[in-house]
Amino acid sequence: MDAVTQKPGFMRPAALVLVLCAELIAVSLFFDAYRPGLAQGGYWFGFLSNAGQFAKMLVAVLVFLVLGLWPRLPAYLDALQRSTGEYPFQYILATQLCSYGLFIWCTAAIFGANIAVADISDFVVMAWLVTLVATGGLWLLSVAPAHFWRRLVVSEPRVFAYAVIVGIAAWWLTLYAQSLWTPLSDLTFRLSAAILGLIYPDIIVDPDLKRLGAMTFVVNIAPQCSGYEGMALMAMFTGFYLSIFRKEFRFPQALLLFPIGIVTIWLFNNVRIALLIAIGASYSPAVAVGGFHSQAGWISFIAVIIVTLTLAYRTPFFSTVSVARKASVRGLNLPMATLLPFIVLLATTILTSAMSADFDWFYPMRVIGVGLAIAICWRLYGISTFKTGIEPWLAGAVAFALWIALVPADPVQNEVFASGLQGASQATAIAWLLFKTLGAVITVPLAEELLFRGYLLSRLARQQVMLAGRIEFAWLPFIASSVLFGLLHAEWLAGIAAGLVYTLVRYRGNSIMDAVIAHGFTNLLLTAYVLATGNWSLW
C-alpha cells in the first residue's frame, strides 16, 4: 500500500481522536462535577453528585475492555478499517458536535459555578442524561458503523460482561477500602516507629494522635499514609503487566507476584516515613516536607517495580523466558537504547526533586545524565543524517499554542521560582537557566520522543522498534502512546494534546527526529515565553 492510499485511513481516525480529546478537555477545564449539594438537597437527581466516581468506574471498564480484547485487538482494528471504506462519517460527526453543544449547555445549567440546586429543573437533568448518551454514542458511530460495534459486542460477550463487573467492583472496593484506613495506619505507625528507633535512641511517639518524630522534627501519620495508594498502584501494574505479557510467565505461580509486590510496597512505605523523619530531624525540614515527601513515594514505587520484575524474569519459577532474558541483557540493542535516556531522566528527576525543597538547584544533573546516556547510545539510533520539512516546526508551534491555552499560570509557583533565582548569585542563576534551556530544548525532547514515538509506538503495534523510515498508522499505538505521554506530565490534558501532535508528526515524517524537532521547538517557544513573561510555572 503506497503513501497516497494510506493517507485517508490515517487522517480520519486522527481527526476523530482529536475531536474527542478536545471535547473532554473542554468539559474538564470549565466544569467541576463535585456538587455535594445535589445529594444533600433530597432531589431525585442527587446521584449526579457521584458523576466523578462514575467517570472513574467507566475508566476501569474501558481499561479492562482493552486488556480483555488485547490479543485480538489488531484483528478488530483491521476489521474497523475495512468497514469504513465509503462510510459517511462527516454527517454523523456534525450531528455529534451539535449533541455535544447541547450537552455543554445542560452541563452549565447543572454544574455551573453560580447555579443553585433549587434552580435545576427536571427537564435540564433529563436533557443532560440524553445528550450525554447521545454524544458518546454518536462519536462511536462516527468512528465505525453500528454493525461493527454490534458484531464486536456479540463476539465478545464475556469480555464486556467482565468489564462491567470489574468496573463496578473497583468502584465498590474504593469506597470499602476507606473503612480499612485506620487499622492499617495503626500497623504502619508501629512499624515506622520501630524502624525510626533503629536510627535514633530517643524518638517521639504518640499513638493516640499518631505523632512520630525525632529530636525537634515531628510529623502526623495520617490514615492516608497507611500505603493504600501504593498498594493499589502495585496491584494495577502487576495485573496489567501479567495480562499483556502473560505468555512470558508461568501460571498460577506468577499470581504470587501480587502479594509479593503489595507487601513489598507497603514495607517500603514504612521505610519512607522513617527516612522522611530522619531527613527532617538531621538534615533539613524543608527538604523532608517538600522534595522528599512528594517524590519518595514514586522512588519506592519504581524501586519495587524493578525488584519485582527482576525477580519475575530471573526466576524460572515465575518466567518462561528467564534464560533468554539473561542472554539478551549482555549487550546494548536498539530497544534498550531507546529506553535508557528516559530511564536516566526519570531517575535523575526523582533524585534531584527529593534532594530539593522549593527550588530544584540540582537540575543540571538531569541534563548531564541524559546527555551521557544519549551519547553512549547514539550510534545505535542510526539518525546521524536526516531531512525534515516545515511540518515539524509548525506542529511544534501548534503544541505550544495548545499548552499556553490549556495550562493556567500559577502565581504562587511563579513567586517561589523567582525568589529562588533572585536569592542566588547572577552567575549561578545564569548557569542554571542555561542548563534548564538545554534540558527543555534538547535532552528532554530526545529522551521522551525515543521512548514514546520510538519504542512505544512500535511495540504497541507489535513491530520492531523503528527510528528511521515512515511507519504505518495504527489506532491503538496512536492513542495509547499519546495518552501515556500526557499522563507523564502534571498538566496531563495539555500533555495528551501535545502528545497527539507529536505522534502525528512521527507518522507523517521519515524519522524520529521529526517528532524531536517538533517537541524541541515547542519547548523553545515555551522557554522564550517564560523568560519574557515571568510565568515560571509553565516551564
How far is residue 423's CA from residue 426's CA, in Å, rounded to a whole number? 9
How far is residue 503's CA from residue 484's CA, in Å, rounded to a whole number? 12
Nearest to 297 by CA among 264, 316, 273, 313: 273
How far is residue 442's CA from residue 2's CA, in Å, rounded to a whole number? 33
Q: 473532554: which residue's cell? A: 24
Cis status, amide bond into 252, omega within 30 of 0:
yes
Residue 61: its pLDDT value, please? 77
Query: HSE-up of 431 (CA within 13 Å, CB side)?
Result: 10
Mean pLDDT across the stretch 171-177? 62
**pLDDT, tens digit, for every residue of 488-529?**
787 888 888 999 999 999 998 889 999 999 999 999 999 999
Cα distances from 322 to residues 258, 328, 462, in angstroms, run: 19, 10, 21
Nearest to 439 by CA among 337, 365, 357: 365
How far is residue 512's CA from residue 448's CA, in Å, rounded to a whole number? 11
Kindly tell me if the per-residue pLDDT of 177 is higher than 70: no
**pLDDT, tens digit, for every residue of 108-154?**
888 877 778 878 888 998 999 999 999 999 999 988 889 899 999 99
Kindly tell me if the per-residue pLDDT of 192 is higher than 80: yes
Query: What is the rounded average pLDDT for all residues in the chain?
Result: 79
How far is residue 125's CA from residue 121's CA, in Å, rounded to a whole number? 7
Exposed, middle or buried: residue 107 (CB in 10 Å: 0-12, 13-18, 19+)?
Answer: buried
Q: What is the DSSP letter of 463?
A: S
Residue 329: its pLDDT value, please? 39
| CB distance 533 to 426 below 8 Å | no
Long-range (24+ apart) CB contacts under 8 A made by 38-45 are 38/117, 41/117, 41/118, 43/117, 43/120, 44/122, 45/120, 45/122, 45/125
Using DSSP's 3-state secondary structure scheme, residue 41 falls into coil
Count the neighbouring beta carbons within 10 Å of the beta carbon of residue 479: 21
pLDDT-based confidence at residue 400 (cuts at 50, 70, 90): very high
How far is residue 362's CA from residue 385's CA, in Å, rounded to a whole number? 33
Mean pLDDT across the stretch 164-183? 65
Residue 399: its pLDDT value, please? 94
Mean pLDDT across the stretch 73-94? 78
Residue 294: its pLDDT value, please? 55
| CB distance 325 to 336 below 8 Å | no
Kindly tell me if the per-residue pLDDT of 2 is higher than 50: no
Alpha helices in 385-511 (DSSP H): 391-406, 411-422, 426-438, 444-449, 457-459, 475-487, 492-508
Exposed, middle or buried: residue 4 (CB in 10 Å: 0-12, 13-18, 19+)?
Answer: exposed
Residue 498: its pLDDT value, please? 93
Residue 324: its pLDDT value, please? 45
**pLDDT, tens digit, for every residue of 11-66?**
566 667 767 777 776 776 667 666 666 766 667 887 787 776 677 677 667 766 77
Q: Given strand 217-220, what is the order of strands in its sheet?
A: 203-206, 211-214, 217-220
How far is residue 411's CA from residue 419's CA, in Å, rounded to a whole number? 12
Residue 322: its pLDDT value, please? 54
Q: What residues contact 33, with CB distance under 8 A and at least 6 apart?
A: 48, 51, 52, 55, 111
Q: Which residue has the higher pLDDT, 148 or 539?
A: 148
Kindly tell me if the per-residue pLDDT of 297 is higher than 80: no
Residue 523: its pLDDT value, please? 95
Q: What residues contact 376, with CB distance under 8 A and at least 6 apart?
A: 332, 340
Q: In this structure, what C-alpha cell is assigned to residue 336?
A: 534498550
